[in-house]
Amino acid sequence: MNFSKLLGTFPTVQTKNIILRKLQLKDALSLYNYYSNENVYRHLDWNGPGTLERSYEVINAWNKGFEEGWIIRFAIADKVTDEVIGTIFLSEFAGKRAETGYELSEEYWCRGIMSEAIHEVLSIGFNQLGLVRIQAIVTDENIASKKLLTKFNFKEEGCLRQFECHSVTGECKDMIIYGLLQNEFPGK
């Protein structure tokens, strides 16, 4: 499935507190800053861009991925300031399924921001792209992410033992796979 052909232009979505939009080069410093926080990257498989220069490369790569049709990675921007405070994506399209993932600046945790973002991304996936399954893979110790997924009716489907090794720490972690089917999405 080439979702960039299905969507045409990169969508922009506004919610109560955020704007989901295409990443821009002006977002590089914000991206670099929040990824530099160990609390943000500890549950990921990398520690972010690492340098401001690398942030520009990452933004270009993600936007090229949309043009090629294999990923749509939204900037999560504060609705008042337009500052990027996180990202959320759908990727690895195969047939009618995709994977989602996300991260958020620690300053915005526990405010319902990611709930707003994931609701809109799931809606795009199921209602505009016609997906029948969206999955997420999270570290076993990432309690907040596991709660978020179950809030949206994702079902825990199993443990992928020692599945992901962090690119900085080298620590291999168990990952939990969650799946959500179109007819289970509460936002239909």
Average pLDDT of the chain is 90
Q: Is residue 154 part of a domain?
A: no
Record the pTM. 0.92
Structural domains of the chain, count = 1
pLDDT digits (tens, 9 = 90+) for 58-104: 999 999 999 998 899 999 999 999 999 999 999 977 789 999 999 99
Q: Is residue 62 part of a domain?
A: yes
Q: What confidence score (pLDDT) does residue 50 get?
A: 77
The CATH number assigned to the domain holding 51 equals 3.40.630.30
Query: Could you tell me which residues are beta bridge partners of residue 155?
Result: 179
Q: Is residue 54 part of a domain?
A: yes
Determine the structural domain holding residue 85 and report its residue range.
3-135
> Which residues are CB-neighbours of 106 under 8 A, at least 6 positions away?
34, 37, 39, 40
pLDDT digits (tens, 9 = 90+) for 108-134: 989 999 999 999 999 999 999 999 999
Q: Is residue 168 part of a domain?
A: no
Closest of 72, 179, 175, 95 to residue 135, by C-alpha: 179
pLDDT digits (tens, 9 = 90+) for 162-186: 888 876 677 888 899 999 999 999 8
Instruction: State both tokens at 126.
Output: 């199921």
Q: What confidence score (pLDDT) does residue 25 get?
A: 96
